[in-house]
């Protein structure tokens, strides 16, 4: 079995190769839209005492002839301990025999595939000529969001808001290495751009309807568990809402709280991203509509990205083989 740590995976797929990850994630959503995958909804273990949770995410692709399972945590308080809030491990299995093929660090892959998914959503839902990006939350995920969106649109201005100025400064230094410039902004400024990303652990509304301009596309990333919420329900009521997976989003995505409160209903959901990728439903239909992509994170994103990493690792002979 092949073992790949984070350093080795970064060598195989540096941030500069985000476009390749976007292509693989788009294939995943295409296969999902064609309904040729197996993917049970993610299972949660909640650690209320420690304000954290653990998620188990299995999937199977007949196209790849491979299955994958990710175990990932979300602990917002980890930042105070000098740890990442999200850490993960991914196991790949050969479906012909069930044999374990590889164990991969999933933390970097989670960042890559989540950013790449926003890249796919932005490709289909944002205005073609969109050039400005507002990011709310300057944590680890914001790196991948900015990298991916910059690959699908010609972004000329990036405004970032975070409650911590140090986080914005840290993000600016990381992105400067990729020749991407960002500017610190207040919350309203960041929300008033053509493309907006929300990537926070918020459990209450942080984006108000009055800040959102006609024609805006929003990638709602942060709400990925029950009771999490970032957007004013009034934004949802006036927008075209696209989810990654109805079953997951309805209980753990941006729409979960408004659904529970009766502020929106299932009929207010336009469709799933996979349906748009394969052409079952039209994408953006006019310049003034507000579009929202509700991202909860799917196991197929991890599987297809990990498959890409695994194949490249075999070709380049990176990683270590072990016997269990």
Cite the active site residues: 70
Q: Which residues contact 23 (CB under 8 A, 6 or more apart)?
A: none
Give the 3-state secondary structure of residue 160: strand
For the record, the structure tokens of 282 come out as 């039209």
Asked if 116 and 22 touch (Cβ cutoff 8 Å), the reply is yes
Residue with tokens 């600016």: 172
How far apart, in whole angstroms, are the C-alpha atoms of residue 307 and residue 240?
32
Asked if 242 and 292 touch (Cβ cutoff 8 Å), the reply is yes
Q: Which residues contact 5 (CB under 8 A, 6 or more apart)?
A: 105
How far apart, in whole angstroms, are the C-alpha atoms of residue 61 and residue 36?
7
């Amino acid at each position: 079995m092949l073992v790949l740590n984070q350093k080795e995976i970064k060598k195989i797929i540096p941030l500069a190769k985000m476009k390749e990850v976007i292509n693989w994630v788009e294939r995943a959503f295409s296969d999902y839209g064609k309904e040729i995958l197996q993917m049970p909804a993610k299972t949660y273990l909640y650690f209320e005492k420690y304000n954290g949770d653990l998620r188990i995410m299995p999937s199977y692709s007949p196209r790849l002839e491979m299955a994958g399972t990710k175990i990932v945590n979300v602990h917002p308080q980890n930042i105070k301990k000098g740890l990442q809030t999200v850490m993960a491990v991914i196991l790949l299995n050969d479906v012909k025999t069930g044999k374990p093929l590889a164990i991969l660090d999933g933390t970097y892959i989670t960042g890559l595939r989540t950013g790449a998914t926003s890249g796919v959503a932005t490709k289909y839902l944002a205005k073609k000529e969109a050039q400005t990006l507002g990011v709310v939350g300057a944590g680890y995920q914001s790196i991948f969001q900015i990298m991916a969106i910059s690959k699908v649109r010609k972004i000329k201005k990036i405004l970032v808001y975070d409650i911590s100025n140090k986080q914005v400064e840290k993000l600016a230094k990381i992105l400067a290495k990729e020749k991407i410039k960002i500017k610190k902004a207040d919350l309203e400024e960041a929300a008033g751009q053509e493309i907006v990303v929300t990537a926070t652990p918020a459990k209450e509304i942080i984006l108000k309807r009055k800040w959102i301009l006609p024609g805006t596309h929003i990638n709602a990333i942060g709400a990925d568990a029950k009771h999490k919420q970032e957007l004013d329900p009034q934004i949802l009521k006036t927008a075209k809402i696209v989810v990654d997976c109805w079953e997951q989003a309805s209980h753990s995505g941006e729409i979960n709280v408004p659904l529970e409160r009766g502020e929106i209903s299932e009929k207010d959901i336009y469709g799933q991203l996979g349906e748009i990728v394969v052409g079952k439903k039209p994408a953006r239909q006019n310049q003034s509509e507000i579009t929202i992509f509700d991202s909860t994170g799917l196991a197929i994103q991890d599987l297809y990205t990990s498959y890409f990493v695994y194949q490249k690792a075999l070709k380049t002979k990176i990683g270590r083989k072990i016997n269990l």
